[in-house]
Amino acid sequence: MWNFIKNREPNIHMKRLFEPFLSYRHFRTRAVDRQNTSSTGLYGFDHLKSPKGFQRFVDEAIERSSELIDYISGMPSSAEIIRAMDEISDTVCSVVDSAELCRQTHPARGFVEEAIKASMKINVYLHFLNTNHTLYNAVKKAEQDGHLLTEEARRTALHLRIDFEKGGIHLPSGKLDRVNQLNMDAHKLCREYGENIINDPGYVDIFPASRIPRQIQHLLKPIYRLTSGVSKESLGSYEDEQEKGFRIITEPRTLFSVLQLTPDEQVRKMAYLKGSSVPHANHEVLDKLINSRHELAQIMGCKSYAEFVMQLNMASSPEVVVSFLQEMSNMVKEKADEEFNTIRNLKRDVCGQRCVDLEPWDEAYYTTMMKSSAYNLDSAVVPSYFSLPQCIEGLKLLVKSLFGASFDSVPMAPGESWHPDVLKMCIHHPEEGDLGFLYLDLFSRKGKYPGCATFAIKGGRKISETEYQLPDYQHFAGTRVALDFAETPSNLFEYYARDYRVLKKFARHYSTGEVIPEKLVKSLNGARDMFAATELQRQIFYALVDQTLFGEQLSVPRDTNSIVAHLKRQQSNEKHVEGTHMHIRFSHFLTYGAATIWKKLCQEDPLSPTTGTLLRTKLLQYGGAKEPADLLTDLVGDGIVRYHNGGIVPDVTSCLEELKLLDDKNRHIGK
């Protein structure tokens, strides 16, 4: 049942700022005292006033869950079984999610260490839940007896039963024990993989400092080395002098800035090679993870782990995904080849050599140069209009215009926060009350998760006929949806971030107050659309790497480095450089329908309350409580998804039109 919990990672896109609207509220929630000054614990949990509180947090979660198991064993009504199961899920998730957020973001080592212990203990208990036949039999009874009155309750029962079976509960004891061990191994390996990325980002030292462009020097660490030189005072005598340089930490964001803005090709090369070859420890971790997941899938009767995880997703099978990606790859190749030649020719013009080739560390630099030239775009100017306070004002504007709600900062109780930079935001509806709360921890710091991410803390759940737990079943709350549907809302709201009608209402210069010029927005959008085929080709390559590494294995052991290198040569114009291994620090998602939703529903009047009502009541409010394809079709009608080889894939017509990649030859692929 809770198989999805133990493999859950933080969502790596912090764009999904509208999760509190994913469950529509038919109940008025309990009032929140925003002026509460009494002390509490981390994230508002009283247990977490100190690091040791995690121990009690886990113990009480296990105690309450055990009480609910006893209640379920008495076989109450089907509705009560599902309600109690959902409470178990909510109780356990509160510990799992809080421990994960603490582990990734808390600056105090004591809290982090106790969160790790809590995570390990609750995961042991999760294995007990996943193999509990009393719960499994109760869920099957609730699903089969036909007494569940709502579609959401029936869907919850179905998903709970499938989650149990994905954990192997229906298998003989020997195989079940092996499945449990493999799941525990995979969980540890996933965590180790992520920790290695954080702990070993790689670095290169560059001397002298003048080799680094001034506009990115603030991202780097100044370093110094001793050099010997002739003393001015005494000819022939020597003294040590300090030479300044910079250390480039080659984590993805810094690396991209270096590749994009550094004229010195050798600096770009050094940074690229280092950033694309670490962390070394993940070679072994990834190989172990692939083998564990493959064995798990085979025990479960699947040909591959990719097939195993595609259950309950729209695409339904790896064959559907791969054939769709190959179609897209063929469609985009000609345009991507043209773009590659354009970039290579620019490098040859700049370097004055006709035989020079385009290297992997060149693309970002020369595409940035071309974009700046074509649109007279100074990338250093753009951030001046998007200070953090102005961006929050933009969020307030969207929430108010689309959903009729407010989005305001509220005070935190003593002990609730984990760092002074953290903001707590409340989404409040004048008729429905508080819809949800959001913590914003937006600044990087040592020891913190390095990328953009969202972490769940508490999902929405109906507690009684009159009470509702903020943001109906928490099993479907927020982003607990089909993986290939999870990114659709965040991708949709990216369109708002580049529409001048929206931007002019909040994007102002941080010092002068000037509204962002329309010409600048047009330049940004024009530059974004340049080399669209190259970027789409890259995303297709990433998705195929994921599908191939965890796909059907024709030989064991497999050389993952050779597999990725072969795919890169096959699917991309970019050279593969021996010794680089991009697959040891990347993740990827395939998304559905955002371009079509924007075009058909939002583009005409993006801030219309009518648009917001449709988005909320037909898409966002359900979370995972309805089939994603049904939600998308109900929202915009036919033409947003299509059936393909027995599964459901995006209709990419709108996306291709937007990227100017649709012609008569490719039109059949979009539909």
- Give tens-digit pLDDT for 279-288: 999 999 999 9
pLDDT of residue 17: 25
The answer to whether residue 394 scores a pLDDT higher than 60 is yes
Cα 436 vs. chain centroid, distance in angstroms?
Answer: 20
The answer to whether residue 496 scores a pLDDT higher than 50 is yes
pLDDT of residue 239: 53
Contacts for 66-73 with beta carbons within 8 Å, 24 or more apart? 69/132, 69/134, 69/135, 72/134, 72/135, 72/138, 73/134, 73/138
pLDDT tens track for 120-129: 999 889 988 9
As a whole number, the mean pLDDT across the chain is: 87
pLDDT tens track for 198-238: 889 999 999 999 999 999 999 999 999 988 654 444 445 45
Tell whether the torsion through CA atoms of 279, 284, 287 and 288 is positive or negative. Answer: negative
Measured CA distances, 626 to 5, 79, 316, 413, 668 (Å)? 20, 18, 16, 37, 29
Residues 447/130, Cβ–Cβ less than 8 Å: no
Task: Write down how long the chain is.
Answer: 671
- CA–CA separation, 142 vs 77, rounded Å? 8
pLDDT of residue 352: 87
**Residues 254/513/402/417 CA torsion (nearest 10 deg):** 50
| DSSP code per residue over 185-211 | HHHHHHHHHHHHHHH---EEEESSGGG
Adjacent-strand bridge partners of 222: 246
Cβ neighbour number for residue 601 with a 10 Å cutoff? 21
For 352-438, where are the alpha helices, taking DSSP H only?
363-375, 388-403
pLDDT of residue 587: 52
pLDDT of residue 228: 65
The answer to whether residue 556 scores a pLDDT higher than 90 is no
Adjacent-strand bridge partners of 439: 424
pLDDT of residue 116: 94
Cβ neighbour number for residue 464 with a 10 Å cutoff? 8
pLDDT band at residue 31 under the 50/70/90 scheme: very low
pLDDT of residue 359: 96
Phi, psi of 638 (to 5 degrees): -65, 155
Closest CA to 598 of 518, 671, 496, 482: 496
| DSSP code per residue over 113-178 | HHHHHHHHHHHHHHHHHHT-HHHHHHHHHHHHSS---SHHHHHHHHHHHHHHHHTTTTS-HHHHHH
pLDDT band at residue 33 under the 50/70/90 scheme: very low
The answer to whether residue 661 scores a pLDDT higher than 50 is yes
pLDDT band at residue 13 under the 50/70/90 scheme: very low
pLDDT of residue 548: 93
pLDDT of residue 469: 64
pLDDT tens track for 41-82: 999 999 999 999 999 999 999 999 999 999 999 999 999 999
The answer to whether residue 375 scores a pLDDT higher than 50 is yes
**Between the ranges 19-33, 388-402, 623-637, where is the mean pLDDT highest?**
388-402
Average pLDDT over residues 468-489: 79
Residues 660/535, Cβ–Cβ less than 8 Å: no
pLDDT tens track for 574-598: 999 988 888 877 655 445 579 899 9
Cα 639 vs. chain centroid, distance in angstroms?
Answer: 26
pTM of the full structure? 0.86
pLDDT of residue 207: 97
Tell whether the torsion through CA atoms of 410, 414, 416 and 420 is positive or negative. Answer: positive
Percent of the chain with pLDDT over 70: 89
Q: Which of 204-208, 298-302, 401-405, 473-477 has the lowest mean pLDDT?
A: 473-477
- For residue 34, give both structure tokens: 């925003």
Phi, psi of 149 (to 5 degrees): -90, -20
pLDDT of residue 420: 96
Average pLDDT over residues 560-570: 93
The answer to whether residue 2 scores a pLDDT higher than 80 is no
Cα 233–239–242 angle (5° rounding)? Answer: 115
Look at 100 and 5; give whichever has higher pLDDT. Answer: 100
pLDDT tens track for 597-630: 999 999 999 999 999 999 999 999 888 888 999 9
pLDDT tens track for 302-313: 999 999 988 878
Q: Which of 148-157, 459-468, 515-524 has the lowest mean pLDDT?
A: 459-468
Residues 226/213, Cβ–Cβ less than 8 Å: no
Closest CA to 601 of 628, 640, 571: 640
**Residues 515/517/521/526 CA torsion (nearest 10 deg):** -170
- CA–CA separation, 503 vs 507, rounded Å? 5
- CA–CA separation, 134 vs 139, rounded Å? 9
